[in-house]
Amino acid sequence: MATKTEAAPTSGGAGAKPAAQHFLQRIQLFSLLSGEECDAIVRRLKRRDFPPNHYVVREGAAGDSMYFITAGKCEVRKKDTSTGIEFLLNELGPGACFGEMALLTGQPRTASVVSTEPTTVGILKNDDFRELLLQHPKIGVSLTTILAERLQQASEQVGVEYMNLARLQLDPRVLGLLPEQTILHYKVLPVGFANNRLTLAMVNPDNILALDDVRRFVKGVMIEPVVCTADDFGKFMSGPYRTLMKKEEEKRAQAAKADGGVDEAVASAMTNTEAVLDTFQSDSLKDIDMEEVTEEPTASATELRSSAEDAPVVRLANAILALSVKRGASDIHMEPREKEMVVRFRIDGVLQVMQTLPKKVQMGLISRMKILAKLDIAEKRLPQDGRISVRLENRAIDFRVSTIPSKWGEKICMRILDKSNTMLGLDKLITHPATLERVREMAAQPYGILYVTGPTGSGKTTTLYSALAEVNDPDINISTAEDPIEYDLPGINQVQTHKDIGLDFARVLRAFLRQDPDVILVGETRDLETAKISVEAALTGHLVLTTLHANDAPGTFVRLDEMGIEPFLVSTSTIGIIAQRLARRLCQQCKEPYPADEMTLKYWGLPADPPVTFYKPAGCSVCGGSGYKGRIGIYEVLRMTSPVRAQVIKRANTDEIRETARADGMLTLKDYGVLLLKEGLTSTDEVLQCVVVQE
Ligand SMILES: [Zn+2]
């Protein structure tokens, strides 16, 4: 039995000082315990490691222990009984715990937890938990608080209105927003829709799971629960509901017929999308001017193609593309399952189910997407890559499309590249004036290397291009080597690397140097050769901008040293380093202020006086209920100064370099995160996730 547990979220180096707080103290249940007491608990934890995509706990299983995540990431999923699909409820990272309720009640697990990365958890068994309760009465105090809070939440919902279903005139289109199985399963009924608010009659208004599931069917709206009696609900469902829905079905069938005898499943899927999005949302999809700029494909006509060109399939495909852009998604996943097809969007870094389509739609829709991407629609056994270019509201948008064969059909994944570069501009990215000034100063240097570091998806490319846009001037020669080319920049020589034909970054870079460039952008420095040529280019009078995988700014020197670049060369060629992360931005419409307590302030290195207000996510129609809208950068900008240079040459460790850079005024990622917290731009969870918990 392993007893070793990591000293948790501060691993990785952003927190220069040892953790001020034991990681267990950040879990509400143990918040009142001392560090030693927490250590005693850690010794009782049983450590287990999970590879990605493994069940940590299964829904329905017996709940005899609670879990603490010490490293990695997990998803909480719950099975929808009517479709058998697992929905994503939440994502958990280091410091999170789960399973305490099952432990207390002895009831089976109400959700599954699945690892999405290599994950380490500490497990506390039932018997140990009971013993701990006896030994540490403070845990009991915390437990009482937690239960009291849950009780209060439940009682707050007692104030909801009562509604008599028999007296209402109900619109079948509103009733049709939820499938009958869901209505019967949760005993909920959509009874009204106005001003983006859905009135939901519920027999059990405190059924939070029901609300969560309803939100999955009706996206981006506020839900207003009202109470109805079980008797009332039963009467309505057995009588008026059937009559109303039957009439509506007949109407739909007629409409489908009028459409020219098209596939009914497609028609009803569309009716559903349109019912929600067109009829009720004022900014409907119809307002979007969707204009393809691709020429017609030259592929020979096949049966598949004709099925893909049915008007409803075309409209459905367009609606999915348009909606993804409108929602600000970065990726679209179209995933065939055994009995249906699921469309998921990645929004602000989180995958969300957008729609579940009938299986019949699958072939037509996939074929349509492949036609748009100029792929071979007859080839279904091999992966293919392509691109769809469209114009939406005068913006040029590219979808990078890839297909892979999966068990239940071809899966399509699309990365959305908005080439209109409306996001570019250092001043749009960096909100802190002093940090912005530093970056501008570094980008204005005539030669040297500027590194941008961070994990995948942290917005490195956007920062790099924004810096490039600032130096772009007709009388200088700028060349870029990229994979892929994510933005179109006027007046710049952009080259796409092709590894499979030997055209890698190093080779393109060498060719550039023969073409008299002033500024070179290298998409990524990932090998010694590329790193070496960049250093050479910098030392011979060129400005080089590039990205590198490193945890933080001081860590970049270690990374370069590991790659095999002499510290002396690094110290003379580097201008500076920008380390960055992207945090989800709180929805400014619905964020909720709360006074930060003493322990929180201490953790973030803030004095207890004067009082500080932090904000947490709530959820409204603007942000689709998530409480977050858009993202915001967290930056750590290190400038190469003589003291830093001296330390790099003598291979000082990252902590020493960090302290030296801080003396020069560098804000660490955590410092910058605290600034954003104080301004109410993001939440503590987000900063913890991005900054303290490192990859
Ligand atoms: Zn909101």
Give strand pairing partners of 398: 389, 417
Q: What is the pLDDT of residue 453?
A: 95
The rounded Cα 507 to chain-centroid distance in angstroms is 34
Q: Are 42 and 27 in contact (CB under 8 A)?
A: no
Report whether 376 contacts 659 (CB < 8 A): no
* Ligand 1 center from residue 624 Cα (angstroms): 7
As given in the structure block, the two tokens for residue 309 are 């060109």
- The phi and psi torsions of 267 (rounded to 5 degrees) equal -60, -45
SS3 (DSSP) at 396: strand
User: Distance from the CA of 20 to the center of ligand 1, in angstroms?
Assistant: 33
Distance 621 CA to ligand 1 centre (A): 6
Q: How far apart are CA 536 and CA 532, in angstroms?
A: 6
Residue pair 419/400 in contact by the 8 Å Cβ criterion: no
Give the separation between CA 50 and CA 118, rounded to whole angstroms.
Answer: 6
Classify residue 20 by its DSSP letter.
S
Q: What is the pLDDT of residue 307?
A: 46
- Alpha-carbon distance of 343 to 353, in angstroms, equals 6
Q: Alpha-carbon Rg of the chain, whole angstroms?
A: 28
Q: What is the pLDDT of residue 258?
A: 52
- From the CA of 586, how far away is ligand 1's center (Å)? 8
Length of the chain: 695
Instruction: Report the C-alpha gap between 14 and 555 in whole angstroms.
Output: 10
Residue of 571, 660, 587, 691 whose CA lies nearest to 629:
587
Segment 152-157 long-range contacts (CB within 8 Å, at least 24 positions apart) = 154/206, 157/205, 157/206, 157/225
Give me ligand 1 centre to Cα 328, in Å. Answer: 15
CA distance 654 to 660: 10
Ligand 1 centroid from CA 589, angstroms:
5
Residue 111 CA, ligand 1 centroid: distance in Å: 26
Ligand 1 mean position to 206 CA, how many Å? 22
Cα–Cα dist 402/383, whole Å: 7
Task: Tell me how far the alpha carbon of residue 587 lies from the centroid of ligand 1, in angstroms.
Answer: 5
Element (H, E) at 166: none
Distance of CA 166 to the CA centre of its chain: 43
Whole-number Å distance between alpha carbons of 432 and 679? 11
Ligand 1 centroid from CA 99, angstroms: 29
Q: How many CB atoms lie within 10 A of CB 618?
A: 15
Contact 616, 594 (CB under 8 A): yes
In contact, 468 and 521? CB cutoff 8 Å:
yes
Q: How far, in Å, from the CA of 596 to the mean position of ligand 1?
A: 21
CA of 39 to the centre of ligand 1 (A): 39
Where is 253: in which H helix or E strand? helix 240-258
> Which residue ranges of the chain lie beneath pLDDT 70?
1-21, 78-90, 150-163, 166-168, 194-196, 219-221, 252-311, 393-394, 418-424, 488, 692-695
Contact 632, 431 (CB under 8 A): yes
What are the residues whose beta carbons fall under 8 Å from the beta carbon of 569, sequence distance 6 or more? Answer: 535, 539
| Phi/psi at 517 (5° precision) | -85, 160
In the reported structure, the alpha carbon of residue 222 is separated from the centroid of ligand 1 by a whole-number distance in angstroms of 10
Place of tokens 């997407």: 369
Burial 557-584 (b: 16+ CB within 10 A, else e): bbbbeebebebebbbbbbbbbbbbbbbb
The b-or-e profile of 74-96 (16+ CB within 10 A means b, else e) is bbbbbebeebebbbbbeebbbbb
Going from the Cα of 626 to the center of ligand 1, the distance in angstroms, rounded, reads: 7
CA of 188 to the centre of ligand 1 (A): 24
CA nearest neighbour of 162 among 220, 242, 231, 240: 231
Structure-token match 């006086």, residue found: 609
Residue 33 to residue 596: CA distance in whole angstroms:
19
Question: CA 63, CA 124: separation in Å to the nearest integer?
Answer: 11
Q: How far, in Å, CA of 388 to CA of 397, rounded?
A: 8
The DSSP 8-state label assigned to residue 593 in this structure reads E
Write the pLDDT tens digit of every residue in 239-269: 888 888 888 777 766 665 554 434 454 545 5
Look at residues 434, 424, 423 and name the one whose alpha carbon lies nearest to residue 636: 434
Q: Which residues surround ligand 1, an ion (CB under 5 A)?
A: 587, 589-590, 620, 622-623
Question: What's the 353 CA to ligand 1 centre distance in angstroms?
Answer: 19
* Greatest alpha-carbon span in the chain: 83
pTM for the whole thing? 0.52
DSSP code of residue 206: T
CA 205 to chain centroid: 30
Using the mean position of ligand 1's atoms as its centre, give its distance from the Cα of residue 417 in Å. 25
